[in-house]
Amino acid sequence: MEVTNKIPKGGEFIIKETDAQDVFTPADFSEEQNMMHQTALDFVEKEVQPLLERLDNQEEGLMRGLMEKAGQLGLFGVSIPEQYGGLDMDFPTSLRVTEGVGGGHSFPVAFAAHTGIAMLPILYFGNEEQKAKYLPGLTNGELMGAYCLTEPGSGSDALGAKTKAVLTEDGQHYVLNGQKMWITNGGFADVFVVFAKIDGERFTGFIVEKNTPGLSLGNEEHKMGIKGSSTRQVFLSDCKVPKENVLGEIGKGHLIAFNILNIGRIKLAAACLGASKMAASLSVKYANERVQFKLPISKFGAIQYKLAQQAVRIYAAESAIYRAGMDIFHKEQELLASGKSHSEALLGAAREFAVECAILKVEGSEVLDYVVDEGVQVYGGYGFSADYPMDRAYRDSRINRIFEGTNEINRMLAVDMILKKGLNGELDLMGPAQAVQNELMAIPDFGGEEETGLFAAEKKTIAKLKKAILMVAGTAVQKYMNSLAKEQEVLMNIADMAIKVYTAESTLLRVEKEAGTKGEEALATQIDIARVYLADTIDQVNKAGKDAIASMAEGDEQRLLAMGLKRFTKADLFNVKDARRRIAKTLIDANDFVY
């Protein structure tokens, strides 16, 4: 496979090998970036954690008060230009801050809705007057924002919205009528980004202020988790909005909605990362404290497995999140250099890596679900008690697989976007896919020069796993052609293969790069983590591949594909038990989540 030393294309990881020196890792963060992360962590620990019960009880004004404090600290303004009161810092820093607030249960939900889907549409699509009017207050916490897209009849199908906007006879206002639901921050927002169809057809964004006549709110929703966040319906009844408050171009609201979601997906992954670390830390500490059979339960292999696997999955997700985050930043810089505006550059960069954003949304949310589920198990009966922290962590986690597009939608989107890039000529998928087909018909080559160095064998395995993806995806395209979109189970099989391979490769590249500066001995735990994750990935790719092949092929074709899959998922056995025990020992000895 070709090694790239330039900014990769989105989805290109499937067909190209990346050099470890070309990826960004958390070890590369600057002192300033780590300070911003620490500020966010300290805010959650000192300001949010002591108030969790009161927040969950929806104490009047409490969440808004916390949000105002966060704004005053500068946490809202990380990505906002200085002219609007922001810090004008880069995209990876905004991810780092989002990770920092991630352990705040309901707070990061309010935070992300405000700083992401509420502020960014105005920043990237608003005109200068709109930016000057709204962004300073949204940045310093004087104003709060909300985003109104979902309706009772349109969730994943956002463009199926029924809310209408009609221009008044004098041409000065649009009259909005409709209903929005699941609106985060709805109870205390001052500024609503609302989507409606002008004359029932042209999907368009509007900025609607809280006190606009005709705008009203439903009661707070009773939710399974994230109880401290305000979630209300928003009703628009002959709501007159000045024509100056049209956001972006008329009929181009989909550009706002979908481009902002790309950024929101990777940021959600970062928030899940922060929450995962918090839950894993609680698991380690409790395992050391809890004594059964005269021993701390951290002494038992079954518990060590859970602690280690939490660390493995968190480290892998972290590796992939910041790899993609820096790729987005580098693409943004490239677009800026080509003459694009700040807004066009970041949106274009996020659009380029929309595949990775979808992948990370799925991986990040499912890692958090795994971590809190095993956290409950480590706590045992106390994990089921609302008097202990895993109860809230478990319930709050579940929404993340629904937010920012369900994980099912994101799986199918990731595959669809990769295939479209191939059809559009943005990615050369046909050449590598054909090479894999040719290889299936050839006699396996067991020779070749033996490579040396850290992860030499593992890199070969990753290359073969990518061939497995190309084989299965290529077969699906040939088999179903234009009806592939209807084969959702097969699409999700392919997505699972791609998600795990991207994450496994990111982990190996991170460890290889850091070992190059710190030495392999200093990275012993991380090397174990990378190898355990890869061992799991091999099995998961094999399972997803087998399911897809069994769905698509019969007879000789099925046997040929199954033999190819076996060849591409073959690797030497690795003693994951001992590796997990070594990983767990690192955590247990530190009495905290560290690696």
* Residues involved in catalysis: 404
- The three-class DSSP label of residue 233 is strand
Report the DSSP beta bridge partners of residue 246.
206
Q: Name the pairing type of β-strands 145-148 and 164-167.
A: unpaired
Assigned token pair, 416: 């669809």
Length of the chain: 595
Is residue 525 within 8 A of residue 496, CB to CB? The reply is no
E strands, 210-287, are 215-217, 231-242, 246-247
* Alpha-carbon distance values, 556 to 477, 549, 563 (Å): 19, 12, 10
Q: Is the dihedral of CA 289, 290, 295, 298 positive or negative?
A: negative
Instruction: Please identify which residue in the block is written with the tokens 């769905």.
Output: 551
Q: SS3 for 196-226, per residue? A: EEECCCEEEEEEEECCCCCEEECCCCCCCCC
Q: What is the DSSP letter of 26?
A: G
Question: Residue 580: enclosing H or E segment and its boundaries?
Answer: helix 576-590
Provide the sign of the torsion angle of the four alpha carbons 85, 90, 95, 97, taken in this order.
Answer: negative
Cβ-in-10-Å burial (0-12, 13-18, 19+) of 430 comes to: middle
What CA–CA distance (Å, rounded) separates 548 from 5?
34
Calpha distance 205→161 (Å, rounded): 12
**Backbone φ, ψ for residue 68 (5° rounding):** -60, -40
Tell me whether residue 62 is exposed, middle or buried, using C-beta atoms within 10 angstroms of its C-beta: 0 to 12, 13 to 18, 19 or more. middle
Give dist(CA 239, CA 237) in Å, integer: 5
Q: What is d(CA 135, CA 85) in angstroms, rounded to the nearest whole number?
A: 8
Report the DSSP pairing between strands 17-18 and 3-4. parallel
Q: b/e map of 570-585 (b: 16 or more CB within 10 Å)?
A: ebeebebeebbbbbbe
CB half-sphere exposure, 199, CA atoms < 13 A: 5
Task: Please tell me the distance from the alpha carbon of residue 403 to that of residue 268, in angstroms, as a whole number.
Answer: 8
* Burial (CB count <10 Å: 0-12, 13-18, 19+), residue 32: exposed
CB 151 within 8 A of CB 162: yes
Helix, strand, coil tally for the chain in percent (to 5): 65, 10, 25
